Structure 1
Amino acid sequence: MLKEIKINNYALIDSIEMSFKPGMTSITGETGAGKSILLGGLSLVLGSRVDNSKIINKNIKCFVEAIFDTTDYDLKLFFELNSLDYERETILRREVIPSGKSRAFINDTPVNLDVLSKLGNTLIDVHSQNNNLSLLDNNFKYMILDSLANNEKLVLDYKKKYNDLKEIEKEIEKIEQNKLNLDEQSDYNKYLLKEFEGLNLEDIDIDELKDQVKELDNLEETLTISVNVINEINNDGIGINDKLSLYIKEINKISENSSKLESFRKKFIEIKNDLTDLTSDYELYIENLESKDTKSNILKESLDLIYSLQNKHRVNSIDELIEIKNDLLKKIDDHKNFDNIISKLSLKRDGISKSLYTIANKLHIGREKSIPVFIKQMNNNFRDLGMENSKIKIDITKSKELLNNGNSLIDFLFKSNKGTSFNELKNIASGGEISRIMLSIKSILSKYRKLSAIIFDEIDTGVSGIVSSKVANLMYNMSKNMQVLTITHIPQVASKGDNHFKVFKHEDESRTVTNIKLLNKSDRVDEIAEMLSGKKLNKSAKELANQLLN
């Protein structure tokens, strides 16, 4: 509910304050008095663009402040999502500083215009003959039928699950795109990994491998010299081994002559034994070396491959190559996992879709049942609003796909004269007709759901007589369930207000200024009498004004 509005330095307004109460408030005034200026000021806190030509005094800032009671609105989540402090009494403020720059605030916290607009238009709904676009909005059509069908809980459940579905679909799309982008990279990673094939890096000692390759590179020379050496040691009769045996035999003859000679004899025996062992090990080494000759190329290729990989990946150790290999394995494995992730998400998506179709079908059934109820009430209102020949028709079909409002496709069709065909509202209804249609719809909706405060800006223009009284009654009945503010030139409508403001102009020494006044009972009689008869008040006009007020 709008509790208060303050406007300072806007167009012809120097400074005004208005306090509002529940029910219906009438705002009247002569043409040109500034009623549209009042609405223009309010539009600033609803996020409208600033028209700097409306800022008359360029030396002081313009501001508009609106105070709302948000008790009946479920807005805590909105405040939380926008990092705002929730207050039951919420203040929307818009300032235009002398430089022309605009700033917006909610409860003294700076916000961007989009946030201000969303909150402002949730709290108050403005309708004029030139501004009834919500009637043509698809979401509004669904809201009408869902309100009559008492579908609110189903709608909330559907929207939550639908948002979940869209999030999962986005996630699947993102993963599929990433998978597509990584396909080429994956092929390259597989190619890189294939280069590691045949290398058991964890078991390779690079220094040992280098020694083996070096050893085999000089195999022929090693074998030639080694065979000669072994032959020199083992040749019968002339080999070093036999000669040592001969030396020992000779020393044996004299070893008893002194302890020193015995010591020499033992040393020669030790040398012979060591030489025998050494020669045996040497021969075994040569045999093993000869057997490795067949692996020479394999060892060389392994070492060359290691050097090549180190150079390619710009590393210097086996451990670093092992790390690169493991990283390639992980990337390839992760790429394969995309399919598993997509499969799991797809199952989740299908489960949500199935649940959504169930809810959508329930919504559709409720909407179908609510259509005749709504049409009957609309046609009754049309008769009251002087639109006896007007009819409304609602076509509803099922979509094969899930939409953000379910699986219902809804068309509101209208005809204003007998013998004509039904068509879309925007194609055949005039501004005045659309305004009255909106009034009729809002009056019906106010019985089924809590609506935001509503301002009707001269939507009763062009009606008269008994229709004026019917329009007034509709607005008044609406005000029992919601706050209604109406800017009007029609006395029947003005008289229904629980409160009544008059907008007027006065002139000071240099300029014309718009002001506003809350009327008491006597003032209201005079104002409505003037609306009935013109500026010249007479007894009959006052009597009729009293009748309307009573």
Structure 2
Amino acid sequence: MLIELNIKNFAIIEELKINFTKGLNIITGETGSGKSILIEAIGIILGSRSSREFIQSGKEKALLEGVFHIEDSSTIRPILDEYSIDMDEDNILIISKEIYLNGPSLSRVNGRNITLSMLKNITTKLVDIFGQHEHQSLLDSSNHQTLVDSFGDKELFELKEQIKDYYQNWSNEKNKLKNLSINSSERDREIDILKFQIEEINDVRLTKDDESNLEIEYKRLSNIEEISNLMEAALLHMTNESFDSPSISALMNRSISIMNNAKKFDENIIQFYKRLIDINYEFQDLYREVQNYLENIDIDSERLNFLSERINIVNKLKKKYGNTIEEILIFRDKSQERLNELLNFEKEFEKTNLKILELENKLKSVSEKLTEKRKIISKKLEKDIKNELSFLNMTKVDFKVDFGESSIFTSEGQDKIEFLISTNIGEDLKPLSKIVSGGEMSRIMLAFKSILAFSDKIPTMIFDEIDTGISGRTAQIVGEKIHQISNNHQVICISHLPQITALADSHFVINKVILENKTRTIINRLSEEDRVKEMARLLGGVDLTDTTLKHAYEMIEMSKKIKKNN
């Protein structure tokens, strides 16, 4: 769960720290106080794109940090291991985001730099945010199949993987057939080109080792004169004394003579003496080998010219067929495969057609199984959604998962799923986008989240604007449902309704203040006494009266009883 949130130099937040708790965390505050900025910051920590515009005026960077305690690491541990991210024995995960004014943003998990896609793979296992984006996604029927599948079991996901494999192979074969289906003149033209390319490469008789061998030998032969001069100088230093410096051989012999005298007085020196003698023998052998190397060294102009020409030919091939010899050979092999296909056109055409038919039969068979599986899931989903919506004061609702017919193969099957709803008795079922209000939309999405909450392992759920378009008894019921979810998940909820706020386990209030002629956002966790005042503000506005204070106190006390039974 999210145990701590730190924000610095972000929009109108100069520095802010929040310690969240288990259960239901409610955040309230006046319009424009910074509640949406808080959700924006959490979203960026979780992997949403950031912007330099969020950096506070006059600052070089903004810092966002979320501290998570992982109670069950079974789902996230494999991902952390894949990314080589360590987690200490306390199972603490620190996710930070640094947004720079003059540089790229940086994301870190436990101090390790990671990409945005890596971050999202981690955080989707930690937090589920419910806001306006989720409202819109539920209205889009193209998302409905994914939502149905999210309630699926292992068998459903195995069927989906099968379809993906078959579909990929089917697409490949269809493309192959398309490439084969060209007219005879185009085929003849391509055959001529392929033959020329293959012959041009084969004439050079390339091997994979040529890449390094050619360069090494050319480098040696083109620098043979320099090599000869340098080795002669080295040989000179080994044996010939100059006016101001003795040779290595002379120095070696002097050392042997000195050590020979010294060993008469200490037997321990004998071992050094013998080793020096051995080194001298090795040195003399080395001298003879270098001398022999120099005697046999030869400037082979003919070989050098051959290598130069061959390197030029290889470089020309690289410009046409690949950056390395290995890539050139791969190009040749693929060209040969394509040539064989074209030369055996009728046979390949028939063979590919048979493969396509075989894969289409497999796709159809698995797609039918997947459809049946989805229909079983959908029947239960329809029942569960209607039960949840009935609890959420939508008692006359009818909900159906509609399966439209489609003959088109896709990597997800052949289903065209759309959610249909009727909110009043006697009304026809219609698409969600054409019938529901804002308040109904919030409750429908909450119904989905409530069902998912019993099966998924995401520890933290964040609700933003869940109370849009509702009030009175409906707001009370929505609050009870959110608190019910918080029995098994940490819930962070931004609300402006007292019916929901009264059910908080921890209540935070966010305020906008003027400090040093600058607007700043602060947040505080409320005591029981302050909770009553904030509840009274939500009930009756800025001016608190004995009536609103009493009403607020009674709502909190009543909510305590509801929470015990929830």
> TM-score band, normalised by the shorter chain?
0.5 to 0.7
Amino acid at match of 1:20: F
**2:339 pairs with 1:335:** yes
- The offset of 1:38, in angstroms, is 0.8
**2:559 pairs with 1:548:** yes
Aligned pairs for 1:506-525 (under 5 A) are 506-525=513-532
Q: Secondary structure at the match of 2:374?
A: helix
- The offset of 1:467, in angstroms, is 1.2
Q: Secondary structure at the match of 1:442?
A: helix
2:419: which partner in 1?
412
Residues 438 and 468 of structure 2 are in contact (CA less than 8 Å); yes or no, is this contact kept in structure 1? no
Q: Secondary structure at the match of 2:407?
A: strand
CA deviation vs aligned residue, 1:386-406 (integer Å, no higher than 9, x gap): 434543222124543443333
1:123: which partner in 2?
126
Residues 76 and 86 of structure 1 are in contact (CA less than 8 Å); yes or no, is this contact kept in structure 2? no
Residues 166 and 362 of structure 2 are in contact (CA less than 8 Å); yes or no, is this contact kept in structure 1? no
Q: Secondary structure at the match of 1:505?
A: strand
Q: 1:359 to 1:20 in 2, by over 3 A?
A: farther
**2:39 pairs with 1:39:** yes
Percent of aligned pairs sharing the same letter: 30
Aligned pairs for 1:417-436 (under 5 A) are 417-418=424-425, 420-436=427-443
Residues 145 and 416 of structure 2 are in contact (CA less than 8 Å); yes or no, is this contact kept in structure 1? no
CA deviation vs aligned residue, 1:479-498 (integer Å, no higher than 9, x gap): 23333211011122122233
1:29: which partner in 2?
29
Q: 1:507 to 1:100 in 2, by over 3 A?
A: farther
- The offset of 1:16, in angstroms, is 1.4
Supply the RMSD in Å over aligned alpha carbons.
4.0
Residues 129 and 432 of structure 1 are in contact (CA less than 8 Å); yes or no, is this contact kept in structure 2? no
2:227: which partner in 1?
none
- The offset of 1:8, in angstroms, is 0.8
Amino acid at match of 1:55: I
Residues 415 and 421 of structure 1 are in contact (CA less than 8 Å); yes or no, is this contact kept in structure 2? yes
Distance 2:175 2:188 in 1: 14
Aligned pairs for 1:24-173 (under 5 A) are 24-69=24-69, 71=72, 74-75=75-76, 83=83, 85=85, 87=87, 89-99=92-102, 101-117=104-120, 119-121=122-124, 123-129=126-132, 131-136=134-139, 140-146=143-149, 148=151, 151-169=152-170, 171-172=172-173
CA deviation vs aligned residue, 1:479-537 (integer Å, no higher than 9, x gap): 23333211011122122233222212333232232111223444434433443344415
Residues 127 and 459 of structure 2 are in contact (CA less than 8 Å); yes or no, is this contact kept in structure 1? yes
| Structure 1: gaps spanning 5 or more residues | 195-313, 315-326
**2:187 pairs with 1:186:** no
**2:493 pairs with 1:489:** no
Distance 2:84 2:27 in 1: 33
Amino acid at match of 1:95: E
CA deviation vs aligned residue, 1:367-397 (integer Å, no higher than 9, x gap): 3234343333333333443434543222124
| Structure 2: gaps spanning 5 or more residues | 200-312, 314-330, 562-566
Q: 1:441 to 1:176 in 2, by over 3 A?
A: same
Distance 1:328 1:55 in 2: 54
Aligned pairs for 1:335-484 (under 5 A) are 335-336=339-340, 357-418=364-425, 420-451=427-458, 453-484=460-491
Amino acid at match of 1:159: K
Distance 1:371 1:330 in 2: 47
Q: 1:352 to 1:464 in 2, by over 3 A?
A: same
TM-score in terms of structure 1 length: 0.64
Residues 23 and 480 of structure 1 are in contact (CA less than 8 Å); yes or no, is this contact kept in structure 2? yes
Comparing 109-118 and 392-401, the one that deviates more? 109-118
Distance 1:506 1:191 in 2: 78
Distance 1:490 1:527 in 2: 11
Distance 1:406 1:470 in 2: 38
Distance 2:178 2:111 in 1: 44
- The offset of 1:86, in angstroms, is 6.2
Amino acid at match of 2:436: A
Amino acid at match of 1:13: I
- The offset of 1:51, in angstroms, is 4.5
Q: 1:98 to 1:161 in 2, by over 3 A?
A: same
Q: 1:474 to 1:333 in 2, by over 3 A?
A: closer
- The offset of 1:79, in angstroms, is 5.3
Amino acid at match of 1:9: N
Q: If you compute each CA radius of gyration, which structure gives the higher value, 1 or 2?
A: 1
Residues 154 and 363 of structure 1 are in contact (CA less than 8 Å); yes or no, is this contact kept in structure 2? no
Residues 25 and 500 of structure 1 are in contact (CA less than 8 Å); yes or no, is this contact kept in structure 2? yes
Distance 2:334 2:513 in 1: 81
Residues 154 and 359 of structure 1 are in contact (CA less than 8 Å); yes or no, is this contact kept in structure 2? no
Distance 2:64 2:106 in 1: 11
Q: 1:530 to 1:328 in 2, by over 3 A?
A: closer
Amino acid at match of 2:75: D
Distance 2:436 2:116 in 1: 32
Q: Secondary structure at the match of 2:33?
A: coil
